[in-house]
Amino acid sequence: MARQQYSDFLCQLYGHKVQKLNVSAGFTCPNRDGTKGQGGCTYCNNASFTPAFGRATSSVTQQLLDAKLFYEGKYADMKYVAYFQSYTNTYAPIERLQELYNEALAVDDVVGLVISTRPDCLGDDVIELLQGINEEYKVIVEIGVETAHDRTLELINRCHSWQCAQYAINKVAQRGLVVGAHLILGLPGETEDDMMTTVDEVAKLPVRTIKFHQLQVLRGTRLAQHWERGEVQVLNWTAQEYAHLCRRIISRLPENIIIERMVSTAPSELLLHPRWGLKPAQFQQIFDAP
Ligand code: SF4
């Protein structure tokens, strides 16, 4: 059985060709507001993955309408999935979460949700809410795992453990929700063998999709400060070397796990390292090269 493409997987799940639309709903994160930690994960700069029309300067409805306008001109007969991506998208009182998710689903042609969150922000009330929505629409819960190594989680100030991620993935999947795992490759102090262990451990869990990418050192982060001062070493790999690692990873993942993405491309003005200067399609060509 050949591995399904992510776009085909979404099409099958939602019963229609869909485009994900980023929504920034004004959440914060317990690792920034002092509830779990201060200052956030050392590599985190949310501006690197929030497109202009997905900034929390307008309502969820307006963001979705603006984004739809952008895509409607490009693709005919498209449906949409609201992607709550920035910060921790289950970190608010349950009534507020319900209001925001319902607002997104009330927009014409929005047929489902992708909710990105931390594993320690998936309490029973949140899962019940998502489970209820999932009965009518489909919900993917994208859980930030990053690594299966607690020593690394501590080093990057994630303020949750690998066990916490395992527990959350199992609990969410048991409720019939689709679970996506997010991993970062090349975290400080990790060898390729460490990364393979993470991949193997995640593959044992009821994960339906995996999104992984290379660690990027971004301006304005604590990681950047540590890296510039030489206090932290990060891998100095080329795009070709990274593509080789991706091939190794994919070859050991079961065919039923869908690969959503394997590279990240932060805006050039934010990216300090590694500066490959590649668009995702250009990286794909390197990956596909014999
Ligand atoms: S990466 Fe996620 S969990 Fe970490 S500080 Fe940023 S928003 Fe919070």
Question: Is the Cβ–Cβ distance between 108 and 145 less than 8 Å?
Answer: no
For residue 88, the ligand 1 atom closest to its alpha carbon is: 7
C-alpha span between 214 and 234 (Å, rounded):
10
Choose among 57, 28, 56: nearest CA to 44: 28
Residue whose CA lies nearest to ligand 1 atom number 6: 44
Return the top range by mean pLDDT from 50-64, 66-80, 159-173.
159-173
Res. 73 pLDDT band, cuts 50 70 90: confident
CATH 2.60.120.260 corresponds to the domain 6-288: no
User: Is the pLDDT at 198 greater than 50, yes or no?
Assistant: yes
**Interval 86-97 mean pLDDT:** 96
Residue 94 predicted with pLDDT over 80: yes
Q: What is the 3-state composition of the chain as percent helix, strand, coil, each rounded to the nearest 5?
A: 40, 20, 40
Which positions ≥6 away from 229 have C-beta within 8 Å? Answer: none
Sorted by where each begins, the domain ranges of the chain are 6-288
Within 6 A (CB) of ligand 1 lie 29, 31-32, 40-41, 44, 46, 87-88, 118, 144
Q: How many CB atoms lie within 10 A of CB 104?
A: 23
Q: Report the separation in Å between the CA atom of 32 and the middle of ligand 1, taken as the mean of its atom positions.
A: 7
Q: Is the pLDDT of residue 52 over 80?
A: no
Single-letter residue type at 109: D
Nearest CA to ligand 1 atom 1: 44
pLDDT band at 72 (very low <50, low <70, confident <90, very high): confident
Q: Give the residue-averaged pLDDT of 80-84.
A: 98
The secondary structure of 113-139, three-state, reads EEEEECHHHCCHHHHHHHHHHHHHCEE
